[in-house]
Structure 1
């Protein structure tokens, strides 16, 4: 698991619980905590202390031909990890980039393109996984009865035996894991919902009239851009029908879920945020296809400024938020 935060830690921890051999890749205080105390995974049935091996980089492992690499970091950190892991030797000859499959368990739609420049076998994963990582060594996942839904398929399209084998392991580890020959359509649908991440991070929960108005216009820009670009994706109704009641959030004792992935980045004070590859993806497509995206551009800039300047999560004044609605 290249990245052991909310998503990577939950997937890796659940796979470990079901008897799969897992190695977590982490850094800094999180790595130190994982090495000292193991992974503490809080899920609806309690907190589990899992002795999952953890390393700081590829030089600490010997790669085997049947290894699967799962990239589970924010997009702004993908290129550095891909550059570290792609040239690493694999037992029997060749490199990781030449021989090993790499799964992008990430928000956004740019990671697969970045990976395919370095890895011959790339898979996309659409991650519906309500999880939180705010403290070193600790991850929580509030989904029940399944921890999450993880659509999986070959990039740029297709499905194969490896996807089915990975999906079977995930299905045996508290996840629904449908194999999709067009996984990127699901990831574009998820991109639309992720456009609210920056809004939540800078302005707080998306509730009340003002925040809902900003959110509706932000998403409408995204829908207009995808339509102009000819990018098909499942409707909200289709997504809800596919999830059904398989992933329902439940309260977790001793675990707080204050917000999504971007909210968590600001809360942890990481100094960066994924808005360039969420709202920024819509801005990019809008510029390519002549569709105005003023709210997404504004939220992209605000989120980056909040991360860079260390501004408190959710602290944007309502007056500044309301001013976004007047953008041309």
Structure 2
């Protein structure tokens, strides 16, 4: 069995690299300068315990990967790229491949299921960065992170059990979870603060102490949307217990973890950000079920604008956000 890592950035790079090190056949799909670095110098993985370069085959498209029925494809691109990526994959890959969704958000599995019958969700808690071509870092030790797996939309089977075992052998903490989307909906709540960090924290400070009121607004709206939509998820204490073994984060190359995935998108100047599938998911639920979501709407719009115009992380002050949120709330009242 071969693993095809479709999107070999921070998460995909760590997963693919460690699977390769544990003896699995792996191919990476990447693009641009990152792809060139992978082909020229290999994949560099830095962690608290080692700094290695791995020679792993790297290609630019699924067609170049020559995917066959026995392959496992791990989708690790950002959520905003999933629809196009799955369409490209479906044009060249057999319909019966196993597809794993290792992304933030809760829409990726549904997108994949339109084209592939064997879709699995991954609850990913891998504290990783990809800020330079050819290099990924992860900031937990001794575990590489958490990779829980379950069949989508629900269920546990032999495939999930086998893949969970292989993730464990590669250095991850992994469990086969029959209710994987309950875990991913909880992770979505955690990811809602990603935009706050990206917009207001120049250095990726994870404390968010200056933003407590905004964070509370984000989570309160999300909880109301979940209730209105009848969405069930595991509790915050369940998640805290699950990730406790990863704490505290380690330093890598003398540096602390700089910031989450949205912060990294702005720091790289990628021009795109996944907020539409994080805060935007709450906005969508609010519009479907009649729940006002002004805080999440402001974060979604602001993050999209910052990414499009190439603004760096921390370019918005908390007071600027508060003013926009208040304006949005006033508009809701007037409506």
Number of corresponding residues: 321
User: Residue 91 of structure 1 corresponds to which residue in structure 2?
Assistant: none
Is residue 72 of structure 1 aligned with residue 72 of structure 2? Answer: no
- CA distance in 2 between counterparts of 1:180 and 1:122 reads 14
Kindly state the Cα deviation for residue 318 of structure 1 after the two structures are TM-superposed: 3.3
SS class of match (2:100)? strand
User: Residue 101 of structure 1 corresponds to which residue in structure 2?
Assistant: 98
Which among 138, 148, 153 is matched to residue 151 of structure 1?
Answer: 148
- CA distance in 2 between counterparts of 1:268 and 1:237 reads 33
User: Residue 92 of structure 1 corresponds to which residue in structure 2?
Assistant: none
SS class of match (2:25)? coil
Q: Is the 8 A contact 2:298 2:325 kept in 1?
A: no
Pairing 1:43-122 to 2, within 5 Å after superposition:
43-88=47-92, 95-96=93-94, 98-122=95-119
Segments of structure 1 that go 5 or more residues without pairing to the other structure are 89-94
User: Residue 159 of structure 2 corresponds to which residue in structure 1?
Assistant: 162
- CA distance in 1 between counterparts of 2:258 and 2:198 reads 10
CA RMSD of aligned residues (A): 1.4
Which among 7, 14, 38 is matched to residue 11 of structure 2?
Answer: 7
Distance 1:171 1:83, change over 3 A: same
SS class of match (1:143)? coil
Per-residue deviation, residues 8-46 of structure 1 (Å, max 9, x unmatched): 000001111111111010000000000000000001112
User: Residue 252 of structure 2 corresponds to which residue in structure 1?
Assistant: 252
List 4+ stretches of structure 1 deviating above 4 A: none
User: Residue 238 of structure 1 corresponds to which residue in structure 2?
Assistant: 238
User: Residue 296 of structure 1 corresponds to which residue in structure 2?
Assistant: 296
Which among 163, 176, 181 is matched to residue 179 of structure 1?
Answer: 176
Q: Is the 8 A contact 2:123 2:180 kept in 1?
A: yes
TM-score by length of 1: 0.94
Bigger mean CA offset, 202-211 vs 282-291: 202-211
Per-residue deviation, residues 212-237 of structure 1 (Å, max 9, x unmatched): 11111111111111111111111111
Per-residue deviation, residues 118-155 of structure 1 (Å, max 9, x unmatched): 11111111111100000000000011221111121101
- CA distance in 2 between counterparts of 1:208 and 1:176 reads 28
SS class of match (2:69)? coil
SS class of match (1:295)? helix
Per-residue deviation, residues 238-269 of structure 1 (Å, max 9, x unmatched): 11112232454101115563210000000000
Per-residue deviation, residues 151-192 of structure 1 (Å, max 9, x unmatched): 211011111111111111100011111111110000000000
- CA distance in 1 between counterparts of 2:278 and 2:179 reads 20
Distance 1:136 1:153, change over 3 A: same
Bigger mean CA offset, 126-135 vs 223-232: 223-232
Distance 1:159 1:282, change over 3 A: same
Segments of structure 2 that go 5 or more residues without pairing to the other structure are 330-335
Q: Is the 8 A contact 1:214 1:324 kept in 2?
A: no
- CA distance in 1 between counterparts of 2:207 and 2:43 reads 34
